[in-house]
Each structure stands twice: as C-alpha cells, then as structure tokens.
Structure 1
Amino acid sequence: MKLNRRSFVKWASLTPALALPAFACSTSENQDSSPPSSAIQPLNLAIQPISREERLSRIAKAQQLMQEQKIDALFLEPGTSMKYFLDFDFFLSERMVAAVIPAKGDISYICPGFERDKVEELVKFGNQVLTWEEHESPYALTAKLLKDLGTPNQKIAMEERCRFFLYEGIKNETARLNFVNGDGVTAGCRMYKSLAEIALMQAANTATIEAYKILFDSLEEGMNQYDFRDIAADAHKKLGFNGSIGANFGEWSAFPHGSSKTQVLKPGAIILADGGCTVEGYKSDISRTIVFGEHNDRQKEVWDVVKEAQTAAFELAKQPGTTCEQLDAAARAVIDSAGFGPDYRYFSHRLGHGIGMDGHEWTNLVRGNDTPLQAGMCFSNEPGIYIVGEFGVRLEDCFYMTENGPQYFTQPSPAIDQAFA
C-alpha cells in the first residue's frame, strides 16, 4: 500500500509496547446548562507539558526507525513535526530555517546568519547551528552538512510538509543522494500517542465540550454563523483556551464544511457545529448537530441513523484485529441500509481521521486503509448524512485506542434533543 495520509504502510516494528489506561472524562457531562458568560471561570485542569525525557525518547525512536529503514537523516523545517521532536517553533519564510536529525549522531540546525541568536535561544536538543549569509546558498550548506554527517545509504527523508523549493534546492546540490517521504519516521512516531499526549488531548476535548455548552445556551433567533463563531471563541477564551467552533444553519448544514453565505438562525433549523481547541499543541475536534427549537420527524430520522452509524463503528473497534477501513465500512453499511446510499451519495466523506498535534494527521478511517487499530492511535469518529436542499447531520467524537479497546475523549450525544450525555 502506498504511504500517504489516506493509507499508511503498517510498520510491524512500530507497535508501541505500552498499555494506555482509560482516562476519565473530566467534563461535567451531566450538567443541564452552563453559567451565563459573565460568570464563566477558567477551567482548572491539571495540564502537564511534554517532558524533555519524552522528547528524547521520540528522537531515539526516530533514529531507530531511520536505521531500520536505511535512512541516513531526517530533514525538518518548522511545523508540528519539528515541534514534536525538538520543541522548536519558528515561523516560515523564503529563508531556510531547518533541522537535520541523523540516524546516528547529534542534531544540527541551519538558519540565516542574522537569525543565529534567536535560533540558539530556541534550541533545546543538539548544539550545532550552521548559518548562511544572504548572498550564500543554504542548500549548499545543507549538502555539506549531510556529507559531513555521513550518508552510507545515500538516502535522506524529508518531512511531508517540507516545501518543494527546499527539496529542489538541496537535491540540486546533492545529486548522489536519494530523497524519500519522511512519513515512515515521523508518522511512525506520531501515530502512537503516549500517556502524556492522551492527557493533553483529553484536556482539549474537555475544554471544547464546556465551550459547546456555553455556546448552545447562548443561541438566539436571528443570529448568524459569525455571531455563533464569535461566542464560541469567547467561551473558549473565558475557559482559558484558544479555540473556535463554526456552524451552518438549516439547508447550509448539508455542506459538510459549510457555506460562506450569511445564514440567519430560525426556529426549527438544524445547526451543524464543528470545532475544537489546542492544549500544549494538541487538538480537539468535536461536531454536534442539534435543532434550534422543536425538531421534526425527518430531522430525527436522519439524526438517529447517523447516531447508529457512529455507534456501530465504535463497537467494532472493540474487536481485536479490526482495521481502519473496516470501521468506515461498518458506519457506511448502517447509512446505506437506512436508504441513504449508495456509497458516498449522502455520506460523502471518510468516517474519520487521525488527530494529535495536527487536527488531521495519520492515519485515516477510510476504504483502502488496512492498517490495524493499535494502542495509542487516536481518531475522529464522524459519520454524516448531507441532503442538499434540506439539511445535514454529522456527529463527531474522538477516541483513542488502548490495549483493551477504544475509549472516547467525549461522550457522544444521546439524542437529537440532548447534545450532551
């Protein structure tokens, strides 16, 4: 199977040797309502940043994977993978700032000469910072670094989000080297979350559920989706987090990612909301579909089918050996059998995606991905039915795999008129 975001090659050696215990969701899921905005207090969550020791273990695992895959070095530029391994965060521009993690040896950084002091302030792992002046080539400097590190396999991995002009520039200076997608290393580490990562994702989900409660208590006839978005951002902020939740009303909820047209909330309209927040770099992603006022039979029929599909996928995840594509098939079978098929006609997207430091990351619950579920993997479970001209329904809760099966970060909605468990 080709290695990419839609299908991830199963590296047998990557299965984490740990059992993840179930985390108790600390949200007040049984509350009937939330306090008024003026009374909202920051959530008192026990948030522990990722430790230096854990990052060192990530670097060691990346080097182990490189050695197994006969890769000489991994090239990173600023982004979530560089943050994941090196706790290094820098902005992107046309000037190269990068790090090279060799299969063996110390980490090196490359930056413009005038940025050296700033970069050195940010470096926490490794101590070699190589610089280039404005008239010089960072690509030639990188080529020399790779030569000095030693490249017996003549194989360099580049993180998948690395921009093309950097790849091209370095490749032109190192004709003897082969460049490969670095997913086998980066995803090979990041797909499997540690206990510390799970805890941070739990905190993010807890915060977003509380923001949803505040938000749904603030709904008013005549508001538009931008009012909705602003209230959601303010709720997250008052709770002590940066987050956002968007929504589409009525017929525009049939667009899975919404419409840019201004929508006005009216009684009886479906509200399809989707959003999350970030805690220490880790994401939440939750969708809720409710009706503003009284629902009708048609809305309930569709909502109940989506709920059944979400439940079917989660229940299947409890069976050892289940693959990613089997979860998608289980949810799709429920929707098809209810008359909302065939195939992608109304359930127009995959069942779910991986989640962690990126809102969408490895690997996906989608047809063709025969990767087995393993402890530490985290996914969204988000079936939907979208009927253009009427409305759409999507229910999304994220879960993580333990040695004993799946555990939700948030409890799914029990019914169309009960958004929270």
Structure 2
Amino acid sequence: MTVRPFTTKDYARRMERAVSQAAGAGLTGVLVTPGPDLVHFTGYRPTAITERITLLVLDADHDPHLIVPVLERPDAAAAPGAAAVTITDWADGSDPYAAAARLLDPRGRYALSDSAWALHLLALQEALPESRYTSMTATLPMLRAVKDADEVDRLAAAGAAADAAYEQIVRVRFAGRTETDIGTELAGLLREHGHSQVDFTVVGSGPNGANPHHEMGDRVIAEGDMVVLDFGGLKDGYGSDTTRTVHVGPPTEQERTVFEIVRQAQQAAFEAVQPGVACQDIDRAARKVIEDAGYGEYFIHRTGHGIGLTTHEPPYMVAGERQPLVPGMCFSIEPGIYLPGRFGVRIEDIVTVTENSGRRLNNTSHELRIVE
C-alpha cells in the first residue's frame, strides 16, 4: 500500500483542532515539545533532543509559533509542516524562556507535552510565575487519538506488514531453537516488510508465555510448548502491534480450552466496538468471557491501548476509562490468560472505529496455529 505524504494543510488542521480542544477544556493553549506530539503537529523530529528548548505554541491569540535553537532552524524549516508555523530562533547566550514568555499569557493555563523536560517547565514557571501547566494526556487525552483517513491507512499498512511477517515466521521450525533465534528472525521479517523500527519482539515459550512482557531469552523451545508471539514497530511513521499464540506440535485439551476462551474474549470485545461505547466497556466485554470461564484471576492487564505515532498511547481499554469511542480511534484488543509456571495465551489485533462498528487492521487467522 502506497501512503500519501501529509501536507501543510494536514498539519494546519491538526493545530487548529488542538486549539479548539484546548479551549473546550478551559485551557489557554497547548505547548508542544520534541517527541511524537511535535511530529504529529509539524512533521518535525529534531536530530537530537537536548537541553536546548524547542517549543511549539498553539493558542487562539497567535498564529502557530515554533521556537527553536538557531543552529536547528534549517532542519525545522525543512519539516513537512513548517509552512504552517512561524519559526522563531534563539541563540546560545540568550534567554529562550523570555522569548517563549512573550508568546504566552502570563496567567494562562496550558497543556504541555508529557515528554517535556522538567528543566524547561520549571524555567517557564520562573519566567511566568502566575502561569499554570498540566499534562497533555491528563487534560487532552484524545488530542492524537482520533486519526484521519491517511493515518488509518498508514496503520493498516503497518498491520498488513506485521501480518506478512507472522505468516512467514510460522513456517520456520521452532523446536530446538531459542526464543532469541525466533525473535531475531521475526524482527528481520518486520524490516523486510517495510518497518523502519522494531520496538519489541515477545517470544514467550512454555512457562515464559505466562509473563506478558517476557520478550525473548535463551530458553530452547521444545515440542509441546505454547508460544506467545507479540511484535511490532513503526512503518511509515505509524505503529504495528499484534499477538498470536502458536503451539509446537499437538496441544493438550486444557491448552485448547484456554486458547478458545481467549479467542472468544477477543471476539466479544471486537463485537462491542461502536461509536459512543465507553472504552471501559471493551475491557468489560473481554473480561466477562474470561471470568465466566473461571480464569478471571489470570487475565492480569488491560484489554487494549491506543496506537499511532507510538505503539502505546491513549485511549486505553481499561476499567474506569469512560471516554466514548469515536470514529477514527485506533487501539489494540488483546485479552490473555497467563497460568504461572505453565503457559500463556494472548490474541491481539489493532482495531479502528468506523461509523457504526469496528474494523480490524490485523487479519491473520485467530485459530491455534500448529508449528514444528
């Protein structure tokens, strides 16, 4: 799938939406620092994130302003969204916080990127003692959560690439090889299918599969092992994240039973997806299936997390999250059962909310795959 480059208009719309959402939350504006937020709004990713402040100021009283160190101005000016902002630079030896303060309301209340350095926040507070700052996730958790069509296309392409990697890895021999061997080969397949970055490869065999974040180790996979494969990274700047559980040789009756419970839980959560449903109800749908089957205590994590420029971001499918689903939201559905000392099972797809239901962005089979 060929993805369309984002345009100046795309970035301008995102910044306008941020200003509108901030006003709706009773905020003066939004302050964006290097990291996924800055990439989302401008396409600019500084070569190095240092003690020199870079700050995008978004509010209703000014055009978007990007404050950068003078030595980084050429890179900032070359960013895809640079035409939608006014760039102001500062030189070493000058006071960048005074430059920033001139653009801020002395008594304003701003949402600040979670990735902001404490050094910069404290300096802004010193420059403007009556200003106030709050976490962007705490006050504007949906700022990047609702994706436009081009972002969904990129997530779909990343999901298809991860699916292709899975279809290849299940054809190799598992028995007699270490988890690290399989994980390294899986990472190579992700890159082969277009991933520029591999964020994780969980290969949890046998009892290691009961640890959801085991990643991979030196354990030799053996006949009779259940193996959890959870892997993802970035393709064209957007994330993939999928989990499938395979079995080396014929499974036991209990292994089949547990696998089927997880499969049904994943399906129930997917079928619950529709606009207006609370995020926590997706978690409840999956958890009810597992609890009714008697394995509730072995489902030890939330059902899902958002995905976009990073593989974990809001919204979260977890008890207490009442944020309603909105078309364009993209998140994982990944229930699991983990039996300590024995094995684990997890099935995960990335899902996007449509106008009336949900659409899977991972499309490999949910059946228990038998590998050699």
Q: TM (normalized to structure 1)? A: 0.81
Pick from 65, 88, 101 the counterpart of residue 143 of structure 1. Answer: 101
1:260 Cα deviation after fit? 6.0
Within 1, Cα distance between the matches of 2:102 and 2:61?
Answer: 17
Within 2, Cα distance between the matches of 1:408 and 1:256?
Answer: 22
How is 1:239-258 mapped onto 2 (pairs within 5 angstroms)?
239-244=193-198, 245-258=201-214
Within 2, Cα distance between the matches of 1:248 and 1:99?
Answer: 42
Other-structure match for 2:90: 131
Q: Is 1:288 aligned to 2:244, yes or no?
A: yes
Q: Is 1:236 aligned to 2:190, yes or no?
A: yes
Instruction: Answer yes or no: is the 8 Å Cα contact 2:203–2:216 preserved in 1.
Output: no
Q: Percent identity?
A: 29
1:60 Cα deviation after fit? 1.3
**Structure 1 counterpart SS, 2:294:** helix
Mean Cα deviation higher: 271-280 or 186-195: 186-195
Taking a change above 3 Å as real, the CA distance of residues 378 and 280 of structure 1, as seen in their structure-2 partners, is same
**Structure 2 counterpart SS, 1:94:** coil
Within 2, Cα distance between the matches of 1:301 and 1:266?
Answer: 21
**Aligned residue type for 2:284:** A
Pick from 309, 316, 319 the counterpart of residue 367 of structure 1. Answer: 319
Other-structure match for 2:159: 205
Other-structure match for 2:45: 89
**Structure 1 counterpart SS, 2:143:** helix
1:77 Cα deviation after fit? 1.2
Other-structure match for 2:178: 224
Pick from 273, 277, 281 the counterpart of residue 322 of structure 1. Answer: 277
Pick from 55, 59, 72 the counterpart of residue 98 of structure 1. Answer: 55
**Aligned residue type for 1:326:** D
Within 2, Cα distance between the matches of 1:70 and 1:266?
Answer: 58
1:315 Cα deviation after fit? 1.6
1:376 Cα deviation after fit? 1.1
Within 2, Cα distance between the matches of 1:176 and 1:277?
Answer: 41
Greater RCO (Cα-Cα under 8 Å, separation 6 or more): 1
**Structure 2 counterpart SS, 1:333:** helix
Q: Is 1:67 aligned to 2:5, yes or no?
A: no
Instruction: Answer yes or no: is the 8 Å Cα contact 1:71–1:103 preserved in 2.
Output: no
1:222 Cα deviation after fit? 2.1
**Structure 1 counterpart SS, 2:316:** strand
Within 1, Cα distance between the matches of 2:4 and 2:193?
Answer: 17
**Structure 1 counterpart SS, 2:358:** strand
1:200 Cα deviation after fit? 0.7
Instruction: Answer yes or no: is the 8 Å Cα contact 1:233–1:242 preserved in 2.
Output: no
Taking a change above 3 Å as real, the CA distance of residues 67 and 203 of structure 1, as seen in their structure-2 partners, is same
How is 1:21-36 mapped onto 2 (pairs within 5 angstroms)?
none
Within 2, Cα distance between the matches of 1:242 and 1:298?
Answer: 39
Q: Is 1:331 aligned to 2:286, yes or no?
A: yes
1:224 Cα deviation after fit? 1.4
Which string of whole-angstrom CA distances, capped at 9 and with x for unpartnered residues, describes residues 313-336 of structure 1?
Answer: 112225x64211112112111111
Which string of whole-angstrom CA distances, capped at 9 and with x for unpartnered residues, describes residues 248-278 of structure 1?
Answer: 1111010010166421111111110111232
1:88 Cα deviation after fit? 0.8
Instruction: Answer yes or no: is the 8 Å Cα contact 1:86–1:124 preserved in 2.
Output: no
Query: Unpaired segments of 5 or more residues in structure 2?
Result: none
1:241 Cα deviation after fit? 2.6
**Aligned residue type for 1:373:** L
Within 2, Cα distance between the matches of 1:156 and 1:302?
Answer: 48
1:152 Cα deviation after fit? 7.6
Q: Is 1:387 aligned to 2:343, yes or no?
A: no
Instruction: Answer yes or no: is the 8 Å Cα contact 2:180–2:216 preserved in 1.
Output: no
Other-structure match for 1:110: 67
Taking a change above 3 Å as real, the CA distance of residues 379 and 228 of structure 1, as seen in their structure-2 partners, is same
RMSD, matched Cα: 2.1
Within 1, Cα distance between the matches of 2:75 and 2:5?
Answer: 22
Within 2, Cα distance between the matches of 1:330 and 1:98?
Answer: 41
1:202 Cα deviation after fit? 0.5
Within 1, Cα distance between the matches of 2:5 and 2:78?
Answer: 19
1:198 Cα deviation after fit? 0.9
1:70 Cα deviation after fit? 4.1
Taking a change above 3 Å as real, the CA distance of residues 185 and 48 of structure 1, as seen in their structure-2 partners, is farther
1:212 Cα deviation after fit? 0.9
Instruction: Answer yes or no: is the 8 Å Cα contact 1:252–1:259 preserved in 2.
Output: no
Other-structure match for 1:49: 5
**Structure 2 counterpart SS, 1:273:** strand
Within 1, Cα distance between the matches of 2:185 and 2:272?
Answer: 37
